Amino acid sequence: MADGKDGLVTAWAFDGAGAARRIGWPEIRASHLPGIAFTWVHLRLIPHGHQPWLVEESGIDPRVIDSLIADETRPRCALYESGAFLNLRGINLLPYSLPDEMHSLRIWVEPNRIVSIHKRPLSAVADLDDAFARGRAPRTPGEFVADTSMRLVERMDTVVNTLAEQADELEELAISEHLSSLSPKVSEVRRIAIILRRYIAPQREALNHFSLEDADWLASRDRHRLREAADRVTRFAEELDSIRDRAAVIYDQLVERRAEQMNRSMLLLAVVTAVFAPLTLITGLLGMNVGGIPEATDPTGFWGITAFVIALGVALTLLIRWLRVV
């Protein structure tokens, strides 16, 4: 795959019989290629830049071009007389990519041409390019879109299952793990589930809508695969809802444990205060530098007062135990 300054990432020509060959700009600009059923041109979105071929030479409807180069997009599908526009989101499994990073893949499908564009590289697109190089090419544009959708869904499956396993581990650790080390993990799992759910849920409707396209290049087998991808996306959305709810329950349990620990600490502090407050009052009164202090002239007065204070402390402690305060 080459990513030049002109925005071209990769381009292929398909003969409709399962074979494909890589092409460049001369073949892309050609109006007709002998023995070729359809072509695929994949571009990189140039930030704040100009897509010269897409805007000036592709002949695509300007409304579709605006959708292809939009900065922020949500999964959706739009059907036109000349083709269909499909915007999907995919999870990257490339090195140094985060599990909650869902990048958009915008696809314009015509009977004889597919034009797609991404803002950030997607591992699913790299897999497609590698599969075509190994001789595993689609026969129709509908098969291409179905294959692309399934590859995107498979990567979602990996991330969602990993997230579910993390939620299972957190539920087990919620009882024994230290609260300060567990709370950030729970918050991170819930945050990722919310972000993924935001983009995965609309993708189901986009795939279902695209499967309704009434075109010769979309066979019944391709429609079935698209519906299967939509069903799997539905399951992912439900699983993410479950993960989000489980994370909320775990967090509530942590809050309850933290509140219980705080209540026990406050109760212990109150008990200590109840025992030592009278003793502090007595010793404070006896320590005043004024006349009339009892036992002030008695040589054994200190030990008598000490014994009295100790006895009073023991009595207060026994009283609290008898009242079952702690």
Residue 226 tokens, joined: 């698209």
| Superfamily (CATH H level) for 265-322 | Magnesium transport protein CorA, transmembrane region (1.20.58.340)
Inter-CA distances, 21 with 54, 58, 136, 143, 217, Å: 21, 20, 11, 17, 20
Pairing type for strands 113-118 and 38-44 reads parallel
Residues facing 113 on adjacent strands = 39
What one-character DSSP code corresponds to residue 49?
-
Return contacts of 117-120, CB within 8 angstroms, 24+ apart.
Answer: 117/42, 117/43, 117/44, 117/45, 117/51, 117/54, 117/68, 117/69, 118/9, 118/42, 118/43, 118/44, 118/45, 119/44, 119/45, 119/47, 119/71, 120/92
Residue 20's SS3 state is strand
Q: pLDDT digit of tens for each residue in the chain (326 aa)?
A: 555 556 889 999 999 888 899 999 888 888 778 888 999 999 988 876 567 888 888 888 888 988 888 876 788 888 888 889 999 988 876 554 555 578 889 999 998 999 999 888 888 888 888 989 888 899 999 999 999 999 888 888 888 888 888 888 888 777 665 656 677 888 888 888 888 888 888 888 888 888 887 778 888 888 898 899 989 888 988 998 998 888 888 888 777 777 777 888 887 887 778 777 887 777 777 777 666 677 666 777 777 777 877 887 788 777 777 776 55
pLDDT of residue 3: 52
| Superfamily (CATH H level) for 8-256 | CorA soluble domain-like (3.30.460.20)
Element (H, E) at 128: helix 123-133
Q: Which of 66, 22, 223, 32 is nearest to 141 (CA)?
A: 223
Using the Cα atoms of residue 108, residue 204, residue 169 and residue 245 in order, give the sign of their dihedral. Answer: positive
Of the chain, the end-to-end C-alpha distance in Å amounts to: 71
pLDDT of residue 188: 85
Domain extent listing, the chain? 8-256, 265-322
With a threshold of 0.85, does the pTM exceed it?
no
Using the Cα atoms of residue 125, residue 159, residue 201 and residue 232 in order, give the sign of their dihedral. Answer: positive
Determine the Cα–Cα distance for residues 244 and 164; give it in Å rounded to an integer. 10
Residue 254 tokens, joined: 């942590």
Inter-CA distances, 35 with 54, 132, 248, Å: 24, 17, 58
